[in-house]
């Protein structure tokens, strides 16, 4: 009897698909707002721990968190398959580019913002497609042996 290869399933129920659509839509709306309605105030640290930690410790905590986040953005999408991979890659591209955006010039930062908006919109469309089609178990096609 042939075994079918099981792919990890990130979204297994309609509820988790709906949560994915809502969260991705919220981040997409924030990213689109930041892209087309520029604000002069930007906060570049992801974790705002500067109120109770010294500056060096704050930088160290943020760098460790950023390193973990980049590692997660590389490893996590590789484990998924199909539309879930597209969803995870859209989030990963947006997150990694947001880390780089504060380190580059303003003109390059504006271009990065447009790329971030496009990537999170692709992730949003993938989340909507998963919700509409319904979450399914991802299995690779197998060649079934024909009994002789």
Helices (H) and strands (E) in the chain, counts: 4, 0
Q: What range does the domain containing 26 cover?
A: 14-38+80-133
Residue 139 is assigned to a structural domain of this protein: no
Residue 4 is assigned to a structural domain of this protein: no
Characterise 82 by phi-psi region: left (phi > 0), alpha (psi -120 to 50), beta (else). left
User: What is the pLDDT at residue 8?
Assistant: 67
User: What is the pLDDT at residue 141?
Assistant: 44
What is the C-alpha separation between 148 and 144, in angstroms, rounded? 12
Regarding pTM above 0.85, the answer is no
State the total domains in the chain: 1
Residue 102 is assigned to a structural domain of this protein: yes
Give, in order, the Cα–Cα distances in Å from 52 to each of 10, 55, 58, 91, 147. 36, 10, 9, 30, 70
Residue 143 is assigned to a structural domain of this protein: no
Residue 104 is assigned to a structural domain of this protein: yes
Q: Nearest CA to 17 among 140, 127, 147?
A: 127
Residue 51 is assigned to a structural domain of this protein: no
Residue 55 is assigned to a structural domain of this protein: no
**What tens-digit pLDDT sequence spans the chain (148 residues)?**
445 566 667 788 889 889 989 999 988 888 888 888 876 665 555 556 556 777 788 788 878 988 888 888 888 888 888 888 899 999 999 988 988 887 888 889 889 999 999 999 999 999 999 999 887 654 444 444 445 4
């Amino acid at each position: 009897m042939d075994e079918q290869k099981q792919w990890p399933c990130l979204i297994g129920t309609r509820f988790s698909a709906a949560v994915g659509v809502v969260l991705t839509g919220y981040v997409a709306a924030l990213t689109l707002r930041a892209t087309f309605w520029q604000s002069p105030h930007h906060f570049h640290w992801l974790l705002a721990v500067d109120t109770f930690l010294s500056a060096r410790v704050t930088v160290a905590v943020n760098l460790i968190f950023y390193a973990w986040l980049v590692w997660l953005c590389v490893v996590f999408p590789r484990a998924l398959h199909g539309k879930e991979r597209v969803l995870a890659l859209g989030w990963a591209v947006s997150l990694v580019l947001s880390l780089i955006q504060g380190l580059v010039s303003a003109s390059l930062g504006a271009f990065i913002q447009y790329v971030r908006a496009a990537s999170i919109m692709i992730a949003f469309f993938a989340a909507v497609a998963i919700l509409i089609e319904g979450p399914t178990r991802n299995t690779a096609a197998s060649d079934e042996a024909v009994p002789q």
